Every structure is written in C-alpha cells, then in structure tokens.
C-alpha cells in the first residue's frame, strides 16, 4: 500500500493536488483502493486547464449582438416549405421501418426539486400518480404499437441514480417495455474543485467530491457503454432525445421526425415561443450561420435593448426557447464521438459540501466550488444541417424542475398543464369535464386528440377525477 501511496503522490504533486491523500493513514485497505481508483481516473492536466480557462469568460454581450433569430418551421406558418402531412407520413414511415430509437437522459441530481430518489421516479400523474419513467415508457410503447414496430430505449443514469433506477424499473417490469428494448447506461463524473485555488474537494476521507458530467456526458457514455454499437447493429438511423423531467414530451413525434428527415437534418431541435424575453429557458439563436444556444443565465443579465432586440421583419431575436428535445442522426453522433472534442466543459459555481483540512464536514451556504458539465446542445453548431421546429408549449413542454413555491415548472404547474391538455382533448372529442375536475389520459389509451376521439363516446360527462387507461 505504501507503493500505491507513493505512486499517487507522484501523480498528484505536479498539480498541487496531493492534499487528497491527507487522511490516507486512517483509511482501510478497501477505502484506499477506492480513493486510488478515483484519482487514477482523473485527467489532472485538463482539470487545471479548465480551472484556468474559466478566468476568461465568453463575451455574451458581443455574441448576443451578433445573434439572429433561428430559421425555423413555425406553428401556423402560412406557406410551409414542407407540408405537415408529408412530414407526418415520413416520420410514421421511419417508425414503422424500425429506424428510430429513444435516448432518455436521467442522470441529473434534481437539486432544485429536492427529491431524494431519481427524478424519473417522481409521481407526476395528477390522477394516476404515475411516475415520469412510467409515462415516458408508456409513450414509447404506444408509439411502437401504432407503428407496429419496436422502439428501443437507451436510458442514461449517473452513479447516484443508476442502481435505484434499475431496481425501480425491475420492480415494475419495465412498465411493459421488453428487456431487450431497454439499455440502461451510466454517465461519467467530474470532480468539483475549490473555486479559488482549483484544488480538488474531498466529500469524505476516501472520496472525492464528484458529480455527473452533465447531459452532454451522454455522448461519451453512449459510446463507452457500447450502446452506440448496439444502435448501429439494430439499424436505428435516428435517435429521439429527451429529458426525464418533461411530462408532456411527445415521444418520437412523427411530425418532428418527418421534418427532420425531409430536411436531411443531422440534429433537429424542438423549441417553444418564449412567453417573456427573460423566461428561464435556453435561447436557440443563429450565429455566423450556425445554430447555438445562449443560456438564460448568460442572456438575462444583459441590457433590455439587447434582450428584446428584433429583426427588420419584427421577429424577436430571442424568441425560441429550448425544450431539450432533439433528434440526432446516428451517423452524426458517431462522427461527434470520433471527433472527441466537440463538447466543451462549462463551469458552474455551486455550493459543494466537503471536508476541511482537519477532516471536519463543511456545508457552505454560498457557492464555493467549480463543477464541470458538458451540455448536449453544444452539438448544435457542429451539425452540417440543423433545423428548429416550433411546438406549442401547452402540448409538448412541461418540465418538472422546481420545488413548490416557484412560479413555474413545479409539481402543481406541471399537473395543471397535463390536466388542461387532457381536458382539451376530451372536449374536442365532444365530452364535458366539470370545472375543477382532474382528468388524465394514459399514453396507452391515447396520445393525441385524434386518438382519443376514436376511444370515447361524445356526450360523456366527467364529474369526478378520472384516469383514462
């Protein structure tokens, strides 16, 4: 073990990180081994660079000044270049040919929500109490049933959510998804460092403070877990990507798929029209002929005349809110994996609990550390052809982000949106729902107003909470 310590010390010292061995003498052999494995996996040179580079922040004001509104397939467009019916048919065709898979990212820590288990296990169904995982899997199954074809799910977890997710899905028999159509893969981690010094933080005497490497970690994890090889083996040419927290995501939306395919797009993105210029969503923009995203945290501090800027035709530059729903062409993803450098790390300034040099646990109230994350949307400018498709927020975007009390993206607002949409479908089918009565439609029952109309009798009156399943 002394040799091991010496080897680690030698590795850490040039980067001034040997303090992580401070408690080595107190550790059992198993704990020493655990710490050694974590240290050996570190890319210390890159960490040092990341810490240093952070000191030169991007000039968001200049970028926002150069930005144009993204060219987009908008809702209610008068003369669309692709007829919606053609797009729908093309999407349906790809689904029926078995060329589409789903990537669901569920490795986040859900800190804002304050829920201990993986967020996918959160009971969101307003009447059924169904979890986000259940609803999303049922949407996949419903889409597969209509297409008469299997749609495999590649589900990304992180070290903290991996086992609970597997146990939960197993206990619920994957909500009906065949075992061979489910691949759960775990994303990587990055260490947190002290914001001032760049030195690694210890979460415990034998444990570095690590956190998931962002949803952009999907690219590397998909490749390293051999899921990308599986995707190729199964002949999945397009991958529908979504996040676990969107209760209204229209999984494998044939219309969106069709636009993507007919535009020969490598990466397509669904957006919603922002309600106000400073909405807390990422902004899809066009800069120097490429699509990219500027986060609300970078845009919102800028002056009003920048944030509310309009193009000559009156369109707001920053109208397109990112829903984090994408379709990737598989060949594009493979190219990005090969390029190795496509996704940069972003630095987040966060409060991270850690041990002080005497071994006391510190829980800082203010941000003390830098965390490093990759964002999947940084692939956007890399695509040779990328399109933006607008969807109606009320029908397709209800992310659960926040604990009760916040103005939006809470349990209450998400459930309100689910009920409102399902009420609208019922009313369109000629049913009546008494005011204030909660209704919920299982994806297996119907996935759209049209599907629902074929399932219910017009004239039905709903007087008490009801789950259509």
Among residues 119 and 139, whose Cβ is nearest to ligand UTP? 119
CB-CB contact of 398 with 248 (8 Å): yes
Among 92, 223, 243, 283, binds ligand UTP (CB under 6 A): 243
Q: Residue 99 and residue 435: Cα distance in Å, rounded?
A: 43
* Run of H or E including 334: helix 330-339
Other beta carbons within 10 angstroms of residue 78's beta carbon come to 5
Does 326 contact ligand UTP by CB under 6 A?
no
Binding segment (CB under 6 A) for ligand UTP, from list 26-34, 202-210, 212-220, 230-238 = 212-220
DSSP 463: -
Output phi, psi for 284, to 5 deg.
-85, 125
Closer to ligand UTP by CB, 9 or 112: give it: 112
Kindly state the smallest distance separating residue 254's Cβ from ligand UTP, in Å. 23
Which residue has the CB atom at the shortest distance from ligand UTP? 108
- Residues 178 and 150: beta-carbon distance below 8 Å: yes
Binding ligand UTP (rule: CB under 6 A), the pick from 108, 152, 254, 258 is 108
Sign of CA dihedral 282, 394, 106, 99: negative
| One residue of 32, 119, 206, 326 binding ligand UTP per CB under 6 A | 119
Q: Residue 74 or residue 112: which is nearer to ligand UTP going by CB? A: 112
Extract the runs of DSSP E, i.e. beta strands, from 205-352: 207-208, 210-212, 238-243, 267-273, 283-287, 290-294, 320-329, 345-350
* Contact flag: residue 105 with ligand UTP (CB under 6 A): yes
Choose the stretch contacting ligand UTP; rule: CB under 6 A; options: 102-110, 165-173, 255-263, 313-321: 102-110
Stretch that binds ligand UTP, among 67-75, 111-119, 350-358, 447-455 (CB under 6 A): 111-119
DSSP 120: G
Under the binding rule (CB under 6 A), the answer on residue 107 touching ligand UTP is yes
Applying CB under 6 A, the site for ligand UTP has a residue count of: 22
Q: Is position 212 an interface residue for ligand UTP (rule: CB under 6 A)?
A: yes
Q: Does 111 bind ligand UTP (CB under 6 A)?
A: yes
Complex with ligand UTP: residue 91 or 399, whichever CB lies closer: 399
Tell me the window of 74-82, 100-108, 292-300, 350-358 that interacts with ligand UTP (CB under 6 A): 100-108
Cβ-based neighbours of 258, under 8 Å, separated by 6 or more? 82, 86, 87, 88, 89, 90, 91, 92, 94
Q: Does 165 bind ligand UTP (CB under 6 A)?
A: no
By CB under 6 A, name the one of 244, 387, 398, 418 that touches ligand UTP: 244
**Position 112 contacts ligand UTP (CB under 6 A):** yes
| Residue 203 near residue 173, CB atoms below 8 Å | no
**Distance separating alpha carbons of residues 264 and 262, to the nearest angstrom:** 5
Piece of 14-22, 75-83, 99-107, 228-236 that binds ligand UTP (CB under 6 A): 99-107
The minimum distance between CB 143 and ligand UTP, in angstroms, equals 19
Residue 364 beta carbon to ligand UTP: minimum distance, rounded to whole angstroms: 17
* Binding residue for ligand UTP, selected from 109, 128, 220, 263, defined by CB under 6 A: 109
Q: Which residues contact 403 (CB under 8 A, 6 or more apart)?
A: 112, 113, 114, 410
Under the binding rule (CB under 6 A), the answer on residue 408 touching ligand UTP is: no
**Which part of the chain contacts ligand UTP (CB under 6 A), choosing from 22-30, 95-103, 239-247, 343-351?**
239-247
For residues 384 and 302, give the distance between their C-alpha atoms in angstroms, rounded to a whole number: 30
CB closer to ligand UTP, 69 vs 113: 113
Helix-helix angle 254-262:84-96, to 10 degrees: 100
Q: Kindly report the backbone phi and psi dihedral angles of residue 348, in degrees, each rounded to the nearest multiple of 5, phi listed first.
A: -115, 135
Long-range contacts of 330-333 (CB under 8 A, 24+ apart): 330/228, 330/231, 330/232, 330/236, 330/237, 330/238, 330/239, 331/237, 331/266, 332/266, 332/267, 332/379, 332/382, 332/383, 333/219, 333/222, 333/228, 333/239
Q: Give the footprint of ligand UTP on this chain (CB under 6 A).
A: 105-113, 119, 156, 158, 187, 212-215, 217, 243-245, 401
């Amino acid at each position: 073990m002394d040799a091991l310590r010496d080897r680690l010390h030698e590795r850490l010292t040039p980067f001034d990180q040997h303090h992580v061995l401070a408690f080595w003498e107190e550790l059992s052999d198993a704990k020493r081994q655990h710490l050694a494995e974590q240290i050996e996996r570190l890319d210390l040179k890159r960490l040092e660079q990341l810490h240093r580079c952070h000191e030169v922040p991007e000039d968001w004001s200049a970028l926002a000044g150069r930005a144009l509104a993204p060219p987009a397939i908008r809702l209610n467009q008068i003369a669309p270049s692709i007829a919606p019916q053609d797009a729908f048919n093309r999407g349906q065709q790809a689904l029926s040919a078995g060329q589409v898979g789903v990537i669901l990212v569920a490795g986040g820590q859900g800190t804002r929500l304050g829920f201990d288990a993986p967020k996918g296990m959160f009971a969101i169904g307003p009447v059924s109490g169904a979890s986000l995982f259940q609803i999303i899997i049922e949407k996949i199954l419903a889409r597969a049933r209509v297409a008469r074809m299997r749609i495999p799910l590649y589900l990304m977890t992180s070290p903290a959510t991996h086992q609970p997710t597997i146990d939960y899905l197993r206990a619920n028999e994957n909500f009906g998804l065949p075992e061979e159509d489910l691949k759960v893969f775990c994303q990587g981690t990055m260490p947190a460092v002290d914001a001032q010094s760049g030195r690694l933080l210890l979460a415990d005497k034998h444990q570095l403070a690590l956190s998931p490497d962002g949803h952009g970690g999907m690219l590397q994890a998909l490749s390293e877990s051999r899921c990308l090889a599986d995707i190729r083996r199964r002949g999945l040419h397009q991958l529908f990507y979504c996040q676990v927290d969107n209760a209204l995501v229209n999984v494998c939306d044939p219309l969106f798929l069709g636009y993507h395919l007919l535009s020969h797009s490598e990466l397509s993105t669904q957006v919603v029209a922002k309600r106000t210029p400073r909405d807390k969503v990422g902004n899809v923009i066009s800069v120097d002929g490429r699509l990219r995203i500027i986060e609300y945290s970078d845009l919102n501090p800028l002056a009003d005349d920048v944030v509310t800027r309009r193009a000559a035709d009156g369109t707001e530059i920053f109208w397109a809110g990112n829903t984090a729903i994408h379709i990737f062409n598989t060949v594009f993803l493979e190219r990005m994996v090969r390029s190795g450098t496509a996704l940069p790390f972003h630095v987040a300034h966060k409060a991270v609990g850690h041990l002080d040099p005497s071994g006391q646990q510190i829980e800082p109230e203010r941000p003390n550390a830098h965390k490093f994350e990759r964002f999947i949307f940084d692939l956007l400018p890399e695509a040779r052809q990328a399109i933006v498709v607008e969807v109606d927020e009320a029908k397709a975007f209800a992310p659960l982000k926040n604990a009760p009390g916040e103005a939006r993206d809470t349990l209450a607002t998400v459930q309100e949106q689910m009920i409102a949409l399902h009420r609208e479908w019922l009313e369109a089918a000629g049913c009546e729902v008494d005011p204030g009565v909660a209704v919920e439609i299982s994806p297996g029952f119907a996935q759209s107003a049209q599907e629902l109309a074929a399932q219910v009798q017009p004239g039905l009156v709903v007087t008490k909470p009801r789950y259509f399943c």
